[in-house]
Amino acid sequence: MTFVITQRCCDDAACVPVCPVQCIRPRPGDPDFSSTEQLYIDPLSCIDCGACATACPVDAIFPESDLPPALTDFSAINAEYFAAHPLIDVSPLPVARHRLPPGLPTLRVAIVGAGPAALYAAIELSELNGVEVTLFERLPTPFGLVRAGVAPDHDATKSITERLGRVLVRPNVQCLFDVEVGRDVSAAELLEHHHAVLWATGASADRKLNIPGEDLVGSVSAQEFVSWYNGHPDSAARDYSLSGRRAIVIGNGNVALDVARLLVQPALAYATTSVSDNALKAMATSTIDEVMVIGRRAQVFAAYGTAELAALTRLPEVDLLAEPSEVGVTDDELEAAALSGRSWALARRRAIIDDAANRTPTQPRRIIMRYRASPTALLGNEAVTGLVVAGPDGTSEQLETSLVIRAVGFRGRPVPGMPFDIERGVLPNNAGRVVDPQNGRPVRGIYCAGWIKRGPSGVIGTNRVDSAETVTSLLEDFERGNLKAPTHDTGALVRLIRERQPNVLDVAGWQRIDETELAAGRGQGRSRVKLLTWEDLRAVGRSDGD
């Protein structure tokens, strides 16, 4: 028997070093690790020890005989990966152990952000003797996109917070939630109190279509919509009408499929999840029975994962359809797609779409996959009434709709006083060292990790390797004496911030929020019921009278 990695995989790669026969791929350092949809186990090499399943932070690994019915395809998916990538080198990966030499002062590092990249960096740093970490997070809550971006029906993926959250209570880690760097404290002030500042603020700005009508009511960015249904306090109070018959999602990544899946399902499908109460109420009265997912290029260039696409075929009372005239692929397109390194998965994905193109609809609701369709204008006076798309031959088509969700990507926001790559939406850097783009020299004491470092690519666990690279750069600079010693202690900084921002919360404040949400969830048979407003989050976080 073999073990099987499934769709829940977060690419954390905690399973790789514990495998005694090194049959899990891709591994950190492999060419396709940063772009892989998930990790895979070679069924011919697995010795059924189960060490990988124990190490997995999101319970994504099952004995083949115990696979849930919805995940049985993953036996073949794991095997198909190794048919295209046979195991050759099974020697263990070298394990990098950081250790600061004796005689150095205590290294103090400020981390801006508390999402996966920030927390992976904090884990790496706080495991060392002689290191103190201070986390600064704009929100009253940690975990970034795990809390506010992962689809609410993917609770197994969200469970990685249990492992990431352990770092928050380490004695050499201090948490300052509801503190915005640039408003409550400047980056320069952080450097006055720390040897280094590590930015891990993600990519929270959405990319624009830059077409007429984009700002009409009913034209919504996926970032806003996902934040709304996930209960982000900046977006939870928004009111989105789900009263039309058709919704259109522009984009063909996993976020687009998450949005389509939510829009086409009844509220009951999310009744046990952490979806926001406001979204659950809107879903209960939704009249949407068709969601059209539109991509500009051929189906072989779609950015969604094979598993995420296959999941749409298993939604109850939902047909997955495709426009037959749009699913064909040329030899040149196949060759170009093969160069992406994911050619081994194309056959399975094409089979799903080809089946969708030939399917006769029988269910009351449907998701329609469209390809080679370029949005050119949103129609309407004050609110959206339709979308115009152009085909590859230049012909135009008007699609009636009252809701268009733009899921065409994310980008980082400029950091005041820092160099910024406007084109890529990232901090320019070399191995996590922020650099001056004019001369390529490192900006002393400034580092970055996660999406603000590399752009919006990879999944949760990809940040583990990304952050480790940045931490290695930071520690090298510290050991070489390249970091300026802070002129003030962190206690003075915390007092200053509390004077400016009386709502600041520590880890105990977050724990009160967490316990309140979990308790409310237990009372309703849900994973958690989120507090949705800044006022409620702050009130509960400070409820002990601080």
- Return the pLDDT at 358: 96
- pLDDT tens per residue, range 205-254: 999 999 999 999 999 999 999 999 999 999 978 989 899 999 999 999 99
- At 372, the amino acid letter reads R
Task: State how far the Cα of 41 lies from the Cα of 6, in Å rounded to an integer.
Answer: 10
Task: State how far the Cα of 233 lies from the Cα of 301, in Å rounded to an integer.
Answer: 34
Mean pLDDT by 10 residues, the chain (546 residues): 92 95 94 90 96 96 94 93 92 82 95 98 97 98 97 94 97 98 95 98 93 97 97 91 96 97 98 96 97 96 92 97 95 83 80 96 98 98 97 94 96 90 95 95 97 94 95 98 96 95 96 98 97 97 74
Sign of the torsion formed by the C-alpha atoms of 91, 92, 93 and 96: negative
- Return the pLDDT at 335: 86
Q: Are 79 and 181 in contact (CB under 8 A)?
A: no
Q: Are 121 and 465 in contact (CB under 8 A)?
A: no
Task: State how far the Cα of 441 lies from the Cα of 463, in Å rounded to an integer.
Answer: 24
Return the CATH fold of 105-202+411-488: Rossmann fold (3.40.50)
- Return the pLDDT at 94: 80
Q: Which two tokens stand for residue 541?
A: 């976080």
Sign of the torsion formed by the C-alpha atoms of 372, 353, 284 and 288: positive
How far from the centroid of its chain's Cα atoms is residue 306's Cα? 17
Q: Are 293 and 256 in contact (CB under 8 A)?
A: yes
- Return the pLDDT at 7: 86
Number of H helices, E strands in the chain: 18, 22
- Return the pLDDT at 435: 98
Task: State how far the Cα of 370 lies from the Cα of 374, in Å rounded to an integer.
Answer: 10
In degrees and rounded to multiples of 5, residue 33 shows phi and psi of -65, -45
Sign of the torsion formed by the C-alpha atoms of 192, 194, 196 and 197: negative
* Domains 105-202+411-488 and 213-406 are alike in CATH topology: no
Phi-psi region of 65 (alpha: psi -120 to 50; beta: other; left: phi over 0): alpha
Q: Which two tokens stand for residue 123?
A: 């884990």
Listing DSSP states for 517-534 in one string gives: HHHHHHHHTSS-----SH
Q: Kindly list the strands in the beta sheet with 196-199, ordered across the sheet, starting from the edge strand earlier in the chain.
A: 173-177, 131-137, 107-112, 196-199, 442-448, 433-435, 429-430
Residue 426 neighbours by CB distance under 10 Å: 21
Task: State how far the Cα of 158 lies from the Cα of 380, in Å rounded to an integer.
Answer: 38
Residue 221 neighbours by CB distance under 10 Å: 19
- At 10, the amino acid letter reads C
Task: State how far the Cα of 125 lies from the Cα of 172, in Å rounded to an integer.
Answer: 10
- pLDDT tens per residue, range 54-68: 999 999 999 999 999
Nearest CA to 229 out of 187, 281, 269 is that of: 281
Residue matched to tokens 């404040």? 509
Task: State how far the Cα of 189 lies from the Cα of 82, in Å rounded to an integer.
Answer: 51
Residue 47 neighbours by CB distance under 10 Å: 13
How far from the centroid of its chain's Cα atoms is residue 51's Cα? 26
Q: Which two tokens stand for residue 142?
A: 């940690």
**Full-prediction pTM beyond 0.85?**
yes
- Return the pLDDT at 342: 65
Report, at the CATH architecture level, how domain 213-406 is classified.
Answer: 3-Layer(bba) Sandwich (3.50)
Residue 367 neighbours by CB distance under 10 Å: 23
Return the CATH fold of 1-82: Alpha-Beta Plaits (3.30.70)
- Return the pLDDT at 39: 96
Domain definitions of the chain by residue range = 1-82, 105-202+411-488, 213-406, 504-545
